[in-house]
Amino acid sequence: MKNLKKKIGIDIFSGAGGLSLGAEMAGISVRYAIEIDSDAAKTYKKNHSDAKVICEDIRKINPIDLKDGDSPIFIIMGGPPCQGFSMSNTISRNMENPKNFLFKEFVRFVKELKPIWFVLENVKGITSINQGDTQHLIEDCFRELGYKVKSKVLCASDYGVPQNRHRFFMVGNRLNIDFDFPKEAEIKVSVNDAISDLPSLTNGEMLENAPYTRPISETSEYIKLMRGESVFATQNYVSRNNDLVIERYKHIKQGENWRAIPEHLMQNYADKGRCHSGIYKRLIADAPSVVISNYRKSMLIHPFEHRGISVREAARLQSFPDNFIFEGCLSHIQQQIGNAVPPLLSKAVMQQILTYET
């Protein structure tokens, strides 16, 4: 028989709350979140009303202040800032970047609060920096505290997320359990499976609420899950691009990128050799999306319409349900979505952890 006692969680470096949302879907009660960005903290609070959100530099926080009496903390979760670890940021991808050492704050919280489990999430680039020594350094920090540690890079599309997003997960426990990561799903969710009921939009359109284009009975299982009881599609916000950018979009077919744009429309690019493959990428309708990171700057294109993807479309591709509302200006919302852990990926890891509870 499973232990029905409530499992208490704390989310540090929480961002908008994707990791927490997955934990809550799995049955974990997240009581506290720490996030230094004010807009992300507002988003977290709006969507996790039962949690206390602390908008502060984590280095100024005493972990013991987050302990509720004698109640044991089941899990500490979080993703320390990863600018220096990211494969896309070669300039700061070294251990001289002070943000790389914020993982020590994660270690400090685990040391002080002694959770039964922890989950540290990050970009996959953490596995290769310093020839893998950085990953091993972090793992050893937790082993010295008595935790058994397992690490793996997971692809979100293997766990019901309509996006080929690779994220690093380190899972530890102080029960000496040899943790196995969850098995991959056999069926992948496509872009069309995820957003085909959302409204048609134009460049720069900002619709707070808009009707769905298909009855829920005629949608995919994924769309049914995302819509839940929602009546309208919310936050249908599209960045406004200039006429030249829209003209470029018209030359790009599904799966193609900036290389499909005629030369005469790219003359303002002094060095096209610096354009990575994700720039001006039109999504393929019948496959999972490419990574939704800073999708405004990357100019990710809707599969059928000559425009960027909307906030709600990006949220769907990250597996945020339609009742999840983001706070802040448009660019800050877009950044929150791009930085987030896909909730369904988090849920898969958390559910796997809970299988070891008796």
Q: Which residues are catalytic?
A: 82
CA–CA distance, 163 with 156 (Å, rounded to integer): 6
CA nearest 143: which of 183, 174, 182? 174
Query: Which value, in Å, is the radius of gyration of the alpha carbons in the chain?
Result: 21
CA dist 313 and 191 (Å) reads 9
Identify residue 298 by its one-letter amino acid code. Answer: S
Residue 301 bridge partners (DSSP)? 282, 308
DSSP string computed for 318-343 = TT--TT----S-HHHHHHHHHHSPPH
Edge-first strand listing for the sheet containing 52-54: 52-54, 28-34, 7-12, 75-78, 117-123, 166-173, 148-155
- 122 and 84 Cβ atoms separated by less than 8 Å: no
User: What is the number of other CB atoms lying within 10 angstroms of the CB of residue 127?
Assistant: 19
Q: How far apart are CA 334 and CA 24, in angstroms?
A: 23
CA atoms in the 13 A half-sphere facing the CB of 82: 26
Angle at 254 between CA 248 and CA 257, to 5 degrees: 50
